[in-house]
């Protein structure tokens, strides 16, 4: 074989593997999308084809009303939890990261070591006492039941975001800030006018990650949100699955797609950020 | 020289002013204060009280806490159901993590070649991971592995009668594990970044020395990206031992407890039967296991993780 032929064979092999893996990754999701427009279980479970014979949006209409509340309630609830969480995370993680990356103070090394070690602390261990803590604070009342999910984010509870921002900040030269200091800016002004604009890409990717993870969060609401009227979409979906005795799969899949849609839109709008966010911040996943 | 002197004087002046000096010296501390308060209230205090509760018979219904020593822990060892959950969790973790990492590395290796359309593939591979532990994805998985679901339909094309994946305790755990392997995107992206940072002249030198592609991969690539392999290993292990959503939604722990992982048992004991003491003990045992494994991984580093600057140790 000549070198040229060898190259062609190699490239072809690589493409075959890439396409093969790509199909495994994407086909189930496309099949799910197709199935949500199919009319019956019969059709869903008898063909591996994606395109429905007869295109119908009936599953979406039925699924939307399959429980006591319409799916709109669950979606609105989701964002009542998610948006404050994103705000809390961005504010607290930026302040903390700024403190760690740009100042010297007593015990800094020790505090940073503690922060990093909390990355490896299993949430399972904390769930029970946290639950008891919030119960003692009276936050299990239905009207307050989002507080246990939201309030900790205002105290930088998701430490990987702090870690991620610190990593980014380390790569930013300090000259700009020194100029600002000479011009008489205090540290808060420096943070707002100088650091934040430079740090914006990583702040945005932290916000996006928090948005997606919180919209998908299941265990948190499962523990704290006890009233159906307050359910976010993740619990609403699980509820409609339980409520559906005959398992009309097209209905369940239609609602699954609706809950995934916001995350998918966010992902496609900002995919570059995500890939950079993962590599630079070494985020979980 | 003069400037230096100025700074010293102004420091001395500030020192006399007390509070302002304190502020200047501790600005950084003030910035991390929200995190520190959060850490004490939402992490350290729960962490400690969880240990305490694990030695009590705290039942949320009776709401009386009394100290019972190691009874919860001995009960864990005596209860077949709990022992089984630990066994299942170990099997789950040691099946999922190596498969996922191997797959992630393999795909990252191929994506690292200069070929057109790499970004499209990278995006496609990353989508399932970004949707992570969502209920919808678990529903999809349940749907795929139904008796007459897509997987068995595809198998029947090849005249293979697929098993009842989710109803058979021999396969159920494997199916749950497969979902996580499928979501290999995050470690893949991290591997990809590491592979890109391997200097190409090392490969050139190796191929001049006559090393084959496989040899180069084993002797150049693997050692150079070993810190990242280590990072992925530790994070994925921690995650695997905490898995909850997928088995809860796909199989609800069944059949025959074959997918009941420890985190589900903690959830059931704590929030279904309100046995907070026992549940705390189970979660602490889980924590000790994860910690031990992490420490073992960290200690094993010196045998296989290569740091070019000795800083990471």
In order along its 285 residues, chain A shows pLDDT tens digits of 788 888 889 889 989 999 999 999 999 999 889 989 988 887 878 777 888 888 888 889 988 888 889 999 999 999 999 999 999 999 999 999 999 999 998 899 999 999 998 988 888 899 999 999 999 999 999 889 999 999 999 999 999 899 989 988 888 888 888 888 888 888 888 899 888 988 888 899 899 989 999 999 999 999 999 999 999 999 999 888 877 666 788 888 899 999 999 989 988 888 777 777 666 655 444
From B180, B287, B212, B149, select the one nearest A125 (Cα to Cα). B287
- A60 in a domain, yes or no? no
Residues in chain A, overall count = 285
Chain B interface test: which of A6, A7, A18 (most B C-beta within 10 Å): A18
Count of pairs with CB atoms under 8 A, one residue in A, one in B: 265
Find chain A residues with C-beta within 8 A of B35's C-beta.
92, 95-96, 99, 115, 155-156, 159, 162
Distance between A176 CA and the closest CA of chain B, angstroms: 18
Q: Return d(Cα A49, Cα A31) in angstroms, integer.
A: 7
A103 and A244 together in one domain: yes
Find chain B residues with C-beta within 8 A of A213's C-beta.
132
A192 and A224 together in one domain: yes
Distance between B303 CA and the closest CA of chain A, angstroms: 22
A17 and A78 together in one domain: no
**What's the number of CA atoms in the CB half-sphere (13 Å) around residue A126?**
22
Domain B79-303: CATH superfamily is MetI-like (1.10.3720.10)
A158 and A260 together in one domain: yes
Find chain B residues with C-beta within 8 A of A283's C-beta.
186
Mind listing the pLDDT tens digit for each residue in B192-224? 989 988 888 888 888 888 888 889 888 889 999
Find chain B residues with C-beta within 8 A of A284's C-beta.
186, 235, 239
A151 and A201 together in one domain: yes
Find chain A residues with C-beta within 8 A of B107's C-beta.
21
- A260 in a domain, yes or no? yes
Q: Are A48 and A33 in contact (CB under 8 A)?
A: no
A20 and A143 together in one domain: no
Buried b / exposed e along B148-187 (16+ C-beta atoms within 10 A): ebbbbbeeeeeeeebbebbeeeebbbbbbbbbbbbbbbbb
Nearest to A253 among B143, B193, B283 (CB): B143
Residue A225 lies in domain: 66-281
A117 and A2 together in one domain: no
Where are the domains positioned within chain B? 3-54, 79-303
A51 and A70 together in one domain: no
Nearest to B190 among A104, A241, A282 (CB): A282
A246 and A185 together in one domain: yes
- A26 in a domain, yes or no? yes
A91 and A135 together in one domain: yes
Nearest to B31 among A99, A130, A257 (CB): A99
Is the ipTM above a cut-off of 0.90?
no
pTM summary value: 0.89
Distance between B162 CA and the closest CA of chain A, angstroms: 14
Find chain B residues with C-beta within 8 A of A260's C-beta.
131, 134, 136-137
- A61 in a domain, yes or no? no
According to the 3-state scheme, what is the secondary structure of chain A?
Answer: CCHHHHHHHHHHHHHHHHHHHHHHHHHHHHHHHHHCCCCCHHHHCCCCCCCCCCCCCHHHHHHHCCCCCCHHHHHHHHHHHHHHHHHHHHHHHHHHHHHHHHCCCCCHHHHHHHHHHHCCCCHHHHHHHHHHHHHHCCCCCHHHCCHHHHHHHHHCCCHHHHHHHHHHHHCCCCHHHHHHHHCCCCHHHHHHHHHHHHHHHHHHHHHHHHHHHHHHCCHHHHHHCCCHHHCCHHHHHHHHHHHCCCCCHHHHHHHHHHHHHHHHHHHHHCHHHHHHHHHHHCCCC
Answer yes or no: do A11 and B115 touch at CB < 8 A.
yes
- Domains of chain A: total: 2
Answer yes or no: do B39 and A114 touch at CB < 8 A.
yes
């Amino acid at each position: 074989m000549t070198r040229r032929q060898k190259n062609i064979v190699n490239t072809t092999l690589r493409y075959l593997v890439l396409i093969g893996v790509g199909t495994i990754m994407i086909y189930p999701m496309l099949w799910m999308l197709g199935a949500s427009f199919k009319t019956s279980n019969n059709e869903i479970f008898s063909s591996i084809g994606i395109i429905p014979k007869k295109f119908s949006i009936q599953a979406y209409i039925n699924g939307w009303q399959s429980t006591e509340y319409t799916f709109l309630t669950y979606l609105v609830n989701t964002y009542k939890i998610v948006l404050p969480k994103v705000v809390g995370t961005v504010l607290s993680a930026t302040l903390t990261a700024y403190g760690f990356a740009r100042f010297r103070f007593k015990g800094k090394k020790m505090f940073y070591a503690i922060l990093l070690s909390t990355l490896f602390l299993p949430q399972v261990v904390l769930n029970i006492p946290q639950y008891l803590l919030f119960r003692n604070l009276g936050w299990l009342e239905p009207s307050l039941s989002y507080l246990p999910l939201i309030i900790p984010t205002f105290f930088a509870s998701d430490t990987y975001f702090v870690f991620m921002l610190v990593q980014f900040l380390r790569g930013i030269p300090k000259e700009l800030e020194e100029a600002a200091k000479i011009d008489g800016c205090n540290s808060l002004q420096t943070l707002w006018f100088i650091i934040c604009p430079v740090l914006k890409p990583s702040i945005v990717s932290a916000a996006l990650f928090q948005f997606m993870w919180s919209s998908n969060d299941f265990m948190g609401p499962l523990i704290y949100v006890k009233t159906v009227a307050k359910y976010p979409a993740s619990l609403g979906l699980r509820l409609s699955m339980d409520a559906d005795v005959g398992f009309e799969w097209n209905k369940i899949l239609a609602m699954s797609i609706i809950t995934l849609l916001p995350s998918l839109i966010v992902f496609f709008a900002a995919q570059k950020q995500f890939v950079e966010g993962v590599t630079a911040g070494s985020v979980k996943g | 020289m003069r400037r230096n002197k100025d700074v010293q004087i102004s420091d001395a002046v500030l020192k006399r002013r007390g509070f302002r000096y304190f502020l200047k010296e501790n600005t950084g501390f003030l910035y991390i204060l929200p995190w520190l308060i959060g850490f004490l209230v939402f992490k350290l205090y729960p962490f400690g009280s969880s240990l305490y509760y694990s030695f009590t018979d705290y039942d949320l219904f009776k709401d009386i806490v009394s100290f019972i020593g190691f009874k919860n822990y001995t009960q864990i060892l005596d209860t077949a159901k709990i022992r089984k959950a630990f066994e299942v969790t170990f099997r789950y973790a040691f099946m999922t993590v190596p498969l996922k990492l191997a797959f992630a590395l393999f795909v990252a290796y191929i994506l690292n070649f200069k070929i057109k359309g790499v970004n499209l593939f990278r995006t496609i591979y990353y989508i399932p991971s970004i949707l992570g532990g969502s209920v919808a994805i678990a529903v999809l998985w349940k749907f795929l592995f139904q008796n007459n679901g897509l997987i068995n339909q595809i198998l029947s094309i090849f005249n293979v009668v697929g098993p009842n994946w989710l109803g058979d305790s021999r396969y159920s755990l494997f199916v749950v594990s497969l979902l996580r392997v499928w979501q290999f995107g995050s470690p893949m992206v991290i591997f990809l970044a590491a592979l890109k940072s391997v200097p190409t002249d090392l490969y050139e030198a190796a191929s001049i020395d006559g090393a084959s592609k496989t040899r180069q991969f084993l002797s150049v690539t693997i050692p150079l990206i070993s810190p990242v392999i280590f990072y992925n290993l530790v994070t994925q292990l921690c995650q695997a031992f905490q898995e909850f959503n997928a088995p809860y939604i796909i199989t609800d722990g069944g059949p025959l407890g074959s997918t009941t992982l420890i985190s589900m048992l903690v959830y059931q004991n704590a929030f279904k039967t309100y046995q907070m003491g026992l549940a705390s003990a189970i979660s602490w045992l889980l924590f000790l296991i994860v910690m031990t494994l992490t420490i073992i991984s960290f200690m094993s580093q010196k045998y296989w993780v290569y740091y070019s600057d000795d800083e990471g140790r």
